[in-house]
Amino acid sequence: MSKVVASADEAVRDIAPGSTVLSSGFGLCGTPDTLIAAIARNPSITNLTCVSNNAGSGEKGLGKLLHTRQIGKMISSFIGSNKAFEAQYFAGQVALQLTPQGSIVERCRAGAFGIPAFYTPTGYGTKVQTGGLVTRYHPRSEDGTGKAELKEAEAQEGRESREFGGRGYILEEAIYGDVAIVHAWKADEMGNCIFKYGASNFGPVFAKNAKLTIIEAEEIVPTGSLDPNTIQLPSIFVNRIVKATEPKHIEVLALREEKDSESKSSAVPPEKSDARARRERICARAARELRNGDYVNLGVGMPTLVPSYLPDGVEVVLHSENGILGVGPYPSKEEVDPDLVNAGKETITLRPGGATFDSSESFGMIRGGHVDVTMLGALQVSAAGDLANYMIPGKLMKGMGGAMDLVSSPDATKVVVLTDHLDKNGRSKVVQTSSLPLTGTRCVSTIITDLCVFEVDRKREDGDGLTLVELMPGVTIEEVEKATDARFKLGPGIKK
C-alpha cells in the first residue's frame, strides 16, 4: 500500500474553497511549506479557515497565503511580530478567532477522537469566557474618510462555565478539520510518520483530526523501514504523502557567541545601558525564586535571561510549550538546527536528559500542574494577582499564545511576573484593578520589578493582597509609593 503522491500540486488540487485547514508549525518550525506553496499556486483554493498557532512570519509559512489573500479566517493564539497578519486583521480583511494555544491543540485532539467538548481552566475569568474578543473589524475606509478608525463587525461569544472541586472551568467545543497539512521528518510509503525535535508541535494532533490528511516528509522510505517503536503518527490517519522540497526557515537565529558578545559589550547608548541594568537587576532577583530541580517555563523576553543568573548549585529543567523539556543554551553556528526553537522562536540546544513531544502533551504538563514555576512579562498586574499581558484594545494585539494555559493552575504552578515598574509613558504597571483584558485572574504569586518585589495574597477579597517584601538596592519606599498605583502593605524588615 502506497499513499505517495507525485507532487504537492496534485496532493492539494481538490481542496475546496471555504475549507477548514489545520496547518502544523510553531513560528516557522515544522511548517508544511511545500504544501503551502502548492496551495498558493492554486488560485481556486480561497476563503480558507486556517487553524494554526500563528500565521508564520512575513510571506513565510501561512504568511504566504495571507499575502495571496487565500485566507478568510485564522483560528490562532498568536499574531506576534507578523505585521501583515496584524494589518489585515485591523483592516477587516481577515477574521481572527483568538484562542489559547493549549485550547487550540486540545480542541483538535478532542475532534480527532470523537469528543465534542470538554471543560478546561484555561481562559476562565477572561474574555475567552465572557466573550467580546473582536473576531472581525469593518474595513477601515468604510466611513469614506480613509482614517484608521476601528469599527467592530463581529465578536466572539462567551463560553459556558462550571465549577469542579471549587475551581472554575469553561466549556470548549471540538474543532473539526476538512484538511490537515503537516510536515514530518520521516514517513514510510504507507503513512507511518516520525517527527524531529520541536517540529512535532501541532503535527500529530492535526494529522489525526482531519478528513483529508496530507503529509510532506523530508524523507520517504519503504514500508517496514521504520522501527514500530518510534512511530509518532500511525498510517491510519494519513491519506497522502509528498516529498518536502521547500527549505526550512529560522525565524530568530540566536547564536551563543553573539549573545555572549552582546552581554559583554559596553559600547551602548546610555538609554540602552540603563534598560539593560534594569533588566539584569530584575532577572538576577528572579533567579533567586528558583530551587534546585525545579521544572520551569520561561515566557518570551526578559524571563529567558533568568538562567544566566542562577546561583551556584542550582540546576533547573526548562520547559518550552512548543514541546521541549530540557532547553539548553543558544547554539554555536555549527549546532544550529531549525527544528530546535524555544517559545520565542529562537534557536536553542537540548541539554542531556532532554525530551521532545507534541503540543498536546506539553500543555497537559502545564494544565496538570507538573511545571513548578512559570515566569512571564506583564502589561499590568493587579493587587489581586490578575495578569494582563497580551493586548491593548485597538492598539496592540499580540495574542495570548500559551500564557493563559501557563497561569491556569496557580495552586500547583508558582506564577512570577517580571516587569519594569512603569510603562514607556511613565504609568504604573502594578495597579489596583487592571483596565486591560486579562490573561488570568488571581494567578500571580510574586511581582519582581526594577524597584522592588511584591508578594501577592491571591485569596484576599478586600483589595489588600500586595505586600512589599524587598526593595532593590538604592530604592526607597517613597519611590515605590510614588510609582505604584496599587495599595500595598510593608513586609517584615521593610520600614520607612
CATH number at residue 421: 3.40.1080.10
**Residue type for position 221:** V
Average pLDDT of the residues in 3-24: 98
Lowest mean pLDDT among 260-264, 290-294, 412-416: 260-264
Q: Give this prediction's pTM.
A: 0.94
Q: Residue 259: pLDDT above 70?
A: no
pLDDT for residue 225: 97
Active site residue 321: yes
What number is the average pLDDT over the span 197-205? 97
What is the predicted pLDDT for the residue at 493?
Answer: 85
Percentage of the chain with pLDDT > 70? 95
pLDDT at 394: 74
The set of cell numbers assigned to 262 is 552582546
> pLDDT, tens digit, for every residue of 464-484?
999 999 999 999 999 999 999
Which residue among the candidates 321, 335, 479, 481 is catalytic per the annotation? 321
467 and 335 fall within a common domain: yes
Closest CA to 137 of 65, 101, 63, 86: 86
Q: Which three cell numbers stand for residue 309?
A: 543568573
The 10s digit of each residue's pLDDT in 39-64 is: 999 999 999 999 999 999 999 999 99
Residue 17 lies in a domain: yes
State yes or no: pLDDT of 410 exceeds 80.
Answer: yes
State whether 278 and 225 are in the same domain. Answer: no
Q: pLDDT-based confidence at 262, cuts 50/70/90?
A: low
Domain match, 197 and 279 both: no
Structure confidence at residue 190 (pLDDT): 98
Q: How far is CA 442 from CA 9, 72, 371, 439, in A?
A: 50, 36, 18, 10
Of the three residues 203, 227, 243, the one that is the final residue of a domain is: 243
The per-residue pLDDT for range 130-177, each reduced to its tens digit, is 999 999 998 865 444 444 466 788 999 999 999 999 999 999 999 999
Mean pLDDT of 291-307: 94
The model's pLDDT over 107-133, given as tens digits with 9 standing for 90+, comes to 999 999 999 999 999 999 999 999 999
40 lies in some domain: yes
Together in a domain, 94 and 198: yes
pLDDT, residue 142, reads 44
In a domain, 144, yes or no: no
403 in the same domain as 324: yes
DSSP string for residues in 309-371: GPPTT---EEEETTTEEEE-PPPPGGG--TT-B-TTSBB--EEEEEEE--HHHHHHHHHTT--
Q: What is the mean pLDDT of residues 175-181?
A: 98
What are the backbone dihedrals phi and psi of residue 94, each rounded to the nearest 5 degrees, phi first?
Answer: -140, 140
What average pLDDT does the chain have?
94
Percent of the chain with pLDDT over 90: 87
Do 484 and 412 fall within a single domain?
A: yes
Q: Tally the domains of the chain.
A: 2
Q: Is the pLDDT of residue 293 over 70?
A: yes
pLDDT value for 164: 97
Which residue range is the domain that position 426 belongs to? 272-490
Q: Do 284 and 194 share a domain, yes or no?
A: no
What is the amino acid identity at position 462?
D
**200 with 314, same domain?**
no
